[in-house]
Amino acid sequence: MAALINLTALAEKEFNTEIALEAKGFSDAVVTFGEDNVEVIINATSINEQDVAQIQDIVTRNTEVDVSKVVITPVVKEE
C-alpha cells in the first residue's frame, strides 16, 4: 500500500510540474522521475540559459529535488 501511495505522490508531482511549465510557456513538457534524477523534456529546438534557470526553478519547487538532479532535454515534437 505504501508503494502505491508513493507512486501516486510522484505522479501528482510530475503532473503539477508539467502544468507549471506549460503556464510559463513551455508547451508539451514531460516530467518523469528516474532512479536518481528528474527528467524534463521540453518541446523546443534549443533552450537558453534563462530558460534552463526558469525550468530548474519550477522543477525544484514542485518536486523538492536538488537542482543537480534535474536533467533538461529539448526535443522538437513531430506532428
Residue 79 has pLDDT above 80, yes or no: no
Locate the domains of the chain by residue range.
2-75
Q: What are phi and psi of 42, to 5 degrees?
A: -110, 135
Report pLDDT for 39: 96
Q: What distance separates the 2 farthest-apart alpha carbons in the chain? A: 42
CA-to-CA dists, residue 38 to 9, 48, 64, 77, angstroms: 14, 19, 10, 20
Average pLDDT of the chain?
A: 92
The residue among 49 and 46 whose pLDDT is bigger is 49
Q: What CA–CA distance (Å, rounded) separates 62 from 57?
A: 9
Give the residue from 4, 9, 7, 17 showing the smallest Cα distance to 57.
17
Residue 77 has pLDDT above 80, yes or no: no
pLDDT in tens, 51-74: 999 999 999 999 999 999 999 999
Q: What is the fold, at CATH topology level, of the domain defined by 2-75?
A: Helix Hairpins (1.10.287)
